[in-house]
Chain A
């Protein structure tokens, strides 16, 4: 069951988040009523196809809204009311209490700076003396499996492979022992063997620091293998929340079912893939009522009447009128 400790505060609480952006044609909705929680030390997956709003959701936790966007609802990251916070508070939050790891490490690191400078930056900003910060950084590089960590501190990003550089980014993101780590497709650019190594490093560090992890991915198998709980996004909304044990065996939302049916697998018997018609949509392109109804095999008239409310079903929470019709 999804009962949470209420005595300790969550690392991240996104409640009823809506996001719209002004364009020449008028206001364009990007996210609607998004609720996501990440407890301390918990690993939470955010899955969905492209354009569903995963990155937008993760970035609002750091107060990084697209230019011209308006947010409604409430976002609390490491105790800070992000949507109400000023620039100094947000800068402080990003430097020390909430970190982010991106898909492409090369785009996220300054190629001209040495790895050591990148790694000690947050610690120095938090007031750690230079020598102590360097010692901690070397230690972290060692923990993420970089050979000759002291030498690595003096090298530049281009001297590392993508997988090695992503480990360095993870080390940097966890250097200040943040309460929350946002990882946006951190292994999507890596091949399977490197992905397994990087995920291993990420999980080990996160566990030892008690960091809450929001793990954004479009890979359902990866989310199920890595996460405690999973949120499924479609067209700018959360359509299902499930614990990862029941996620693959008892999906509650027709979209989750469809995703699983369309995903090839190396494990188990090889069933035929069942493609869903159409393509994933953004919130602005989605039909009224249930966003999934133009692709849903279970859709009926009532699905057009309004956006289905989120309600409990089995061990999940689901925004669908007839989750009981979804076969396990």
Chain B
């Protein structure tokens, strides 16, 4: 067995009286991709934010590449950021609108691996090329790019420091299908080329099917089912997983039966 690159143990996150994440544990192997699915409010984003160090867990542990990461001091955050990066649904907010995309991509390089300006510039060019952005796009401000180009830029910046794990929270949800397919293909290529691992958070089961090999299903902050993604979709064991799958539109959709299943599940 290879050593997991990410180990999450009994994670709990409370906001006042709300328990957003309630005892979540999973492991991620190097080069693997794990999906986190579940409906709105099930705790997916909170889990992702705790992994990325944007929230302190109430209890539980997160180990990245064998190292427990705690605390929110600048040093701790830098250490974590070198191993694990996060990408959001709309990366617009995470870019400085005054910087060009190339300058934004250069930022983490300067922070984590300072070197001569020419080296940084060459590395940035290579990164932009890797995610399929032209030099011209690199010289644009984030506001001048399309949603898909902006997501490519976010990926370039996230992989700049060669992290072991990328946490993607609804990273393709806002994109048009034709562009979404391009980004999914890019993520696929990156993983094959670099051996990076993904935690892929999405409410979209079809996207998760394409982007992951294993998945966990969250409901009310807990993992109710886990396993190979294809198995979960074909033979769901938990009634909630089945409800999620049956809720995906298809011809002959039986909406009345769905409503009954939903009520039965809520009554549990």
CB distance from B170 to the nearest CB of A (A): 11
With CB as the reference atom, state the residue of chain B lying closest to A193.
B247
In the assembled complex, the Cα of A304 lies from the Cα of B249 at a distance in Å of 37
A-contacting residues, B150-189, CB 8 Å = 176-182, 184-185
Select from chain A the residue with minimum beta-carbon distance to B179. A279
| CB closest residue in chain B, given A267 | B250
Interface size on B, residues (CB 8 A): 38
Q: Which residue of A lies closest to B246 (CB)?
A: A196
Binds A, one of B49-57, B83-91, B94-102, B252-260: B252-260
Rounded to whole angstroms, the CA-CA distance of A162 and B39 in the bound complex is 13
Task: Tell me the count of chain A residues lying within 8 A, CB to CB, of chain B.
Answer: 44
Asked if A197 CB lies within 8 Å of chain B CBs, one says: yes
A186-242: which have CB < 8 Å to B? 190-197, 199-200, 203, 218-222, 224-226
Of the listed stretches A73-81, A96-104, A257-265, name the one at the interface; the rest are far from the partner chain: A257-265
Tell me, yes or no, whether B64 is within 8 Å of chain A by CB: no
Q: Is the CB of A259 within 8 A of B177?
A: yes
A275 CB-CB contact with B under 8 Å:
yes
**B251 partner residues in chain A, CB cutoff 8 A:** 224-225, 244-245, 248
Q: How far is the CA of A162 from the CA of B206 in the complex (A)?
A: 23
Interface residue? A125 (CB, 8 A): no
**Which of A191, A196, A225, A279 is the most central at the interface, judged by chain B CB atoms within 10 Å of its CB?**
A196
Looking at A245, A262, A280, which has the most chain B CB atoms within 10 Å of its CB? A262
Whether B61 sits at the interface, judged by CB under 8 Å, is: no
CB-CB under 8 A from A270, the residues of chain B are 209-210, 230
Is A142 at the interface (CB under 8 A from chain B)? no
Complex contact B247–A195 (CB within 8 A): yes
- Residues in A neighbouring B39, C-beta threshold 8 A: 191-194
For residue B243, CB closer than 8 A to chain A, the reply is yes
Residues of A within 8 A of B63 (CB): none
Residues of chain B within 8 A of A275, CB atoms compared: 178-179, 181-182, 184-185
The verdict on A107 contacting chain B, using a C-beta distance below 8 Å, is: no
The smallest beta-carbon distance between B259 and chain A, in angstroms, is: 6
Q: Which residues from chain B contact A226 at a C-beta distance below 8 Å?
A: 249, 253
Question: Scoring B residues 233 to 268 as 1 if CB is less than 8 Å from chain A, else 0, what string do you get?
Answer: 100000000011111111111011011001000000
A248-291 interface bits toward B, Cβ cutoff 8 Å, 1 = contact, 0 = none: 10000000001101111111001001111111100000000000
A273 to B181, Cβ gap below 8 A?
yes
A117 at the B interface (CB under 8 A): no
* Smallest CB gap from A265: residue in B: B206
Within 8 Å CB of B182, what residues of A?
275, 277
Which residues of chain A have C-beta atoms less than 8 A from B253's C-beta? 196, 225-226
Query: A143 interface residue, CB < 8 Å from B?
Result: no
A293 → B minimal CB distance (Å): 15
Asked whether B60 is an interface residue with its Cβ less than 8 Å from the other chain, the reply is no
A265-324, CB < 8 A from B: 265-267, 270, 273-280
Interface status of B31 (Cβ within 8 A of chain A): no
Distance in angstroms between the alpha carbons of A266 and B212 in the assembled complex:
13
A55 at interface by CB-CB < 8 Å: no
Binding site for B on A (CB under 8 A): 49-50, 145, 162, 190-197, 199-200, 203, 218-222, 224-226, 244-245, 248, 258-259, 261-267, 270, 273-280
